[in-house]
Amino acid sequence: MTSKTHTSINVIKTPRKKKVRTHCLPSLEQPEETNITKPKDPVQVFCRIKPLDSEYISCVRVKDSTTVVLEALDQTLDSKQGLQKENHYVFGHVFESEISQRDIFYAVALPLVENLIKGRNSLLFTYGITGSGKTHTMTGYIGQRGIMPQCLHALFRTVSSYQAKKCVFKPDYLNGFEVLSETEASYERQHKMCHRFKDALKLEDSCLEVVSQSPRYLSLLQSIDEDNIYAVFVTYIEIYNNSVYDLLEEGNIQKTLQSKIIREDANHNIFVHGATEIEVESMEAAMAAFERGQNRKRVGHTVLNAESSRSHSVFNIRLVQAPTDSHGEHVVSDKRHITVSQLSLVDLAGSERTSRTNNTGFRLREAGNINNSLMTLRLCLQYLRENQQSTNAVPKKIPYRDSKITHLFKNYFEGEGQVSMIVCINPRAEDRFENAHVMKFAEMTQQVQVARATPVKAGLGFIQGRRKANEIFKIAADNLNELGHTEAKNIDVDIGLVFFSSFPEYKIDSPEGDSNIKELMQYLLLRIEKRKILCKDLNTRCDNFRGNLMKMEEENLSLRRELNQAKARYKEERDRSLGLMKSLALLESSQNVLKNKLKNHEYEINVLRRKLGEQQALFDKKEGKLTQETKKIEASSSLKKCG
Ligand SMILES: Nc1ncnc2c1ncn2[C@@H]1O[C@H](COP(=O)(O)OP(=O)(O)OP(=O)(O)O)[C@@H](O)[C@H]1O
């Protein structure tokens, strides 16, 4: 894919009031119903013109980036249909036929993904006649990825480093979630793995295909809270003939799907009861789930002999997030701190007159149902606008419940969030009348106001950046351990608990000031809650500190005792060694005296020996003489005898 630079699009918005920072209580209790006006934003409406096939004549002209003109063709027919010569329609932005899928995503859907990450709900739907490019815009095709896959891509690019292990967040099947412990989550993972072993193999195959097609040009969104843990869930719903079907339902694909009921949860949120909610850890897994739903849809429609484009499709991306504990390591297990936000991507069925399509019998009923649901949608928005504009009159009852699709949308119009709509236009002259209807409705929709979402950040006052600090701490401990400092492994991570939350700036300068006071009260209550947590933590830390101090004092005393004993022993030993040194010196001097004596004696011995030698020689000499004398005497005496 060639990498194009992103064209910036100036979307005209109604001027917004100064941003008000709001906070909620840690317990996510529903705020009391009040008649205080909340800040509101209009429904954002964008118009996308489909490229015209060469054999057709166009009836649409784009005047400027916000205005589209339906041009006059056959004046007699036009006046019969109640159309003027030219009709001008103004939208947030008009996308001409050459606009790329990527630019549409950036202009329309990226802010909604940011909302999702910030914990706010958004609804985006495509509206237009059959063949006008709704599915192309919302889902797209291989090589022409639409809004939905690009939203998933942007979301996972942002949250992937902060994702919880699978099954840490578990749907409670009443539209809420609970937090499982490590052990419970790991058991749940194993259980699911065994259960879906075969499916997983199939899923992996299809993943490979999608990975290679995923766009690679998106950068991280800045709105992420790096101290939170995230999980992404998807549901895929179809509304056909005013019945709701779960396209992700497990089991035999050939089985006819059972219709589901729409319910309201404890927080007055509307949801499809029993709809399969799949936790997806990557864009590929989410797309695989979507493909599974598409297959179900195809098989279901073959069974029912229905047309795929004759139903409304609702793909919900739910982001569950919860803060990490004070160490930035584990998710806070209190389910009141969970924030769930939702992005509903809706591909509505085509809107056209039944008379024009020449439908009969079954198809006529099908078309009638579509028209009824779209008519209800138009009516709901019209009444909403009227109620909002004429504050004095008795408000009209809005018929959300008359159709399943409007019943599902109720939350967005009555609650908080952002609603955006892309009106798709096929510029063929044949579609002029239908397009006029579509654009008139779309233009009117822009006057409907939706309460701006309150940021749902259950800040606990823990230090910001604790999760990263924890990671760095652990890396450092591992490195030290590798270097042979085994004690590093046992050091407890202590990032410290520091209150972090700046006081919001509130200015009461409009009638909405009352709501600011209420938000301020909520903020103050939150601060009181945080203060309690911090005081408790401070007390524990003080107790621990006192305990440690006493232990250290005791150790200090015993060390001092040991030191004194050692000092006394040292003195004794030193004296002893001095005494020994003295006697050694004495011994050495007496040894020297003896050595001298020995030398003298040796000398005397040598002198005596020499003298003895001399005496011996003298003696030998005398003895020789004596022997001779004796011999002579003996000889003379014998001579005398003889003689
Ligand atoms: N902007 C576009 N660029 C190129 N081709 C487009 C564009 N929009 C639609 N198409 C093509 O027009 C055909 C009809 O579009 P698509 O199926 O999206 O219409 P649709 O409004 O969803 O119709 P239906 O109401 O029947 O579901 C498709 O083949 C699609 O590829």
- Average pLDDT on 50-62 reads 90
Radius of gyration of the chain (CA): 48
CA atoms within 13 A on the CB side of 198: 2
Testing ligand 1's pocket by substitution, the residue of 136, 294, 310, 422 carrying the most ligand atoms inside 8 A of its CB is 136
Beta strands 169-171 and 144-145 are unpaired
Q: In the block, which residue shows the tokens 């998933």?
A: 152
Cα-to-centroid distance, 340 and ligand 1 (Å)? 33
Please give the Cα distance from 535 to 433 (Å, whole number). Answer: 68
Q: Whose CA is closest to atom 15 on ligand 1? A: 133
Residue 447 tokens, joined:
């006057």
Please check if 484 is assigned to a binding site.
Answer: no
Nearest to 330, CA basis, from 526, 172, 493: 493
Cα-to-centroid distance, 367 and ligand 1 (Å)? 19
Q: Whose CA is closest to atom 13 on ligand 1? A: 131
Statement: residue 414 has pLDDT above 80: yes
Please give the Cα distance from 295 to 288 (Å, whole number). Answer: 11
Please give the Cα distance from 338 to 67 (Å, whole number). Answer: 43
**pLDDT for position 246:** 93
Residue pair 238/258 in contact (Cβ under 8 Å)? The answer is no
Interacting residues of 127 by C-beta distance below 8 A, sequence separation 6+? 134, 348, 351, 421, 422, 423, 424, 438, 441, 442
Residue 254 — pLDDT band, cuts 50, 70, 90?
low
Q: Which atom of ligand 1 is nearest to the CA of 309?
A: 27
pLDDT digit string (tens) for 85-131? 788 999 999 999 999 999 999 999 999 999 999 999 999 999 999 88
CA atoms within 13 A on the CB side of 601: 6
Cα-to-centroid distance, 426 and ligand 1 (Å)? 9
- Average pLDDT on 45-51 reads 96
**pLDDT for position 366:** 56
Please give the Cα distance from 333 to 522 (Å, whole number). Answer: 23
SS3 content of the chain, % helix, strand, coil (to 5): 50, 15, 35
Angle between helix 283-304 and helix 197-211 axes, rounded to 10 deg: 110
269-273, 530-534, 547-551, 612-616: range with lowest mean pLDDT: 530-534
Residue 552 — pLDDT band, cuts 50, 70, 90?
very high
3-state secondary structure 344-394: EEEECCCCCCHHHHCCCHHHHHHHHHHHHHHHHHHHHHHHHHHHHHCCCCC
Our answer on whether the CB atom of 132 is closer than 6 Å to any ligand 1 atom is: yes
Our answer on whether the CB atom of 23 is closer than 6 Å to any ligand 1 atom is: no
Statement: residue 384 has pLDDT above 70: yes
Residue 195 — pLDDT band, cuts 50, 70, 90?
low
**pLDDT for position 237:** 95
**pLDDT for position 10:** 42
Statement: residue 80 has pLDDT above 50: yes
Nearest to 27, CA basis, from 522, 640, 498, 549: 522
Our answer on whether the CB atom of 351 is closer than 6 Å to any ligand 1 atom is: no
188-202, 228-242, 515-529: range with lowest mean pLDDT: 188-202
Cα-to-centroid distance, 550 and ligand 1 (Å)? 77
Cα-to-centroid distance, 282 and ligand 1 (Å)? 27
Write the DSSP assignment of 75-142 as a string of letters: HHHHHHTT--SSEEEE-SEEE-TT--HHHHIIIIIHHHHHHHHTT--EEEEEEESTTSSHHHHHTEET
Cα-to-centroid distance, 395 and ligand 1 (Å)? 39
Nearest to 203, CA basis, from 283, 291, 279, 288: 288
Please check if 134 is assigned to a binding site.
Answer: yes
Q: Which CATH code is given to the segment(s) 40-72+88-198+218-451?
A: 3.40.850.10
Of 54 and 341, the structure prediction assigns the larger pLDDT to 341
Statement: residue 161 has pLDDT above 60: yes
Our answer on whether the CB atom of 312 is closer than 6 Å to any ligand 1 atom is: no
Mean pLDDT estimate for the chain: 81
**Domain locations in the chain as residue ranges:** 40-72+88-198+218-451, 464-502
Q: Which atom of ligand 1 is nearest to the CA of 136?
A: 18
pLDDT digit string (tens) for 416-439? 889 999 999 999 988 888 899 899
Our answer on whether the CB atom of 426 is closer than 6 Å to any ligand 1 atom is: no
Other Cβ atoms within 10 Å of 78 Cβ, number: 20
Q: ipTM of the assembly? A: 0.98
Residue 174 tokens, joined:
């009443």
Please give the Cα distance from 456 to 244 (Å, whole number). Answer: 30
Interacting residues of 549 by C-beta distance below 8 A, sequence separation 6+? none
pLDDT digit string (tens) for 446-479? 999 998 877 555 566 677 788 888 888 888 888 8
Q: Which value, to the nearest 10 degrees, does the dihedral of the CA atoms of residues 508, 511, 513, 518 take?
A: 170
pLDDT digit string (tens) for 222-245? 778 888 999 999 999 999 888 999
Q: Which atom of ligand 1 is nearest to the CA of 350?
A: 25
**pLDDT for position 75:** 56
357-371, 422-436, 510-524: range with lowest mean pLDDT: 357-371
Cα-to-centroid distance, 321 and ligand 1 (Å)? 35
Statement: residue 74 has pLDDT above 80: no
pLDDT digit string (tens) for 178-194? 888 888 888 888 877 76
- Environment class of 258 (CB within 10 Å of its CB; exposed 0-12, middle 13-18, buried 19+): exposed
Other Cβ atoms within 10 Å of 637 Cβ, number: 10
Residue pair 407/270 in contact (Cβ under 8 Å)? The answer is yes
Q: What are phi and psi of 174, to 5 degrees?
A: -125, 30
Our answer on whether the CB atom of 51 is closer than 6 Å to any ligand 1 atom is: yes
Statement: residue 81 has pLDDT above 70: no
**pLDDT for position 204:** 44
Please check if 133 is assigned to a binding site.
Answer: yes
* Size (the chain), residues: 643
Amino acid at 209: E
Beta strands 60-64 and 44-49 are unpaired
Our answer on whether the CB atom of 427 is closer than 6 Å to any ligand 1 atom is: no
- Average pLDDT on 16-30 reads 34
Q: Which atom of ligand 1 is nearest to the CA of 308?
A: 27
